[in-house]
Amino acid sequence: MPLDSDLIREARGLPRGSPIFLDYDGTLVPLSTDPETTFPDDDVLWIMDRLSGKYQVYVATGRSIPEITRFLDSRYNFIALHGAILKPKDGQPEYVTDAGEYIRKCDAIYAGRDDFFRRYPGLKMTNKQGGLVFIMWGLDEKAMSSLVEEVSMLASQTGMDLYRGKRIVELRIPGVNKGITIRGVRNGAPALIAGDDATDEDSFLDNPDAITVKVGDGDTAARFRVRDVAEFRVLLKAMSES
């Protein structure tokens, strides 16, 4: 199926120097059952570097800064932890809210991770210094349901937000999301925003005047949709060559 002609026209008509906000997992690279192995391939890096010569490229991700820079070094601007951290390409990361309390809470829960691993064989956990992710690819449905209920209780006890994603459940800093941070960064400028997950819906809803692109299936507030990562790369390549 060819790309939506209106999407191509609007994306290629984005003024030079405009910001573009791109999710990482499931948008720039395919999803993986092992999030520690999702390194970018040469093709997407070539496209991203081309785009950086025309636009302000932001990778907007739920990952922490150490995680995402492990994959992409410091070659782009980053919005990390679902909007809680902003790091310009040539600058230092800054929390957009006071995160110290929630970092300490995540550290305390993560310190007891061996108990989780004992009770939920196959579980993986990642402490993102302001977010705590429970990765459930190795769990069956019954274990997943039990774990989600337990993490929901932790969210209530700690005052953190609870997020359900594709085989993950996550504790997040409350009151921030990608959409709010993106809206502040772009400050009304024309922009393209793309993502595949429920967290990206905040970006679409908070920036309805932007070119918004849903990658993959599912209900969405985005104005446009592409089938998968490969089709989205076709769009990015067209933008880099326009």
The half-sphere exposure of 88 on its side-chain side, counting CA atoms within 13 A, is 4
Q: What does 79-113 look like in DSSP terms, one character per residue?
A: EEGGGTEEE-TTS--EESS--HHHHHHHHHHHHTH
Cβ(41)–Cβ(219) below 8 Å? no
Which one is catalytic: 4, 23, 49, 206?
23
Q: Look up residue 54 and give its two tokens.
A: 């025309």
Closest among 208, 207, 205, 195 to 61, alpha carbons compared:
195
Q: Any catalytic annotation for residue 23?
A: yes
Closest among 222, 242, 189 to 4, alpha carbons compared:
222
Catalytic residues: 23
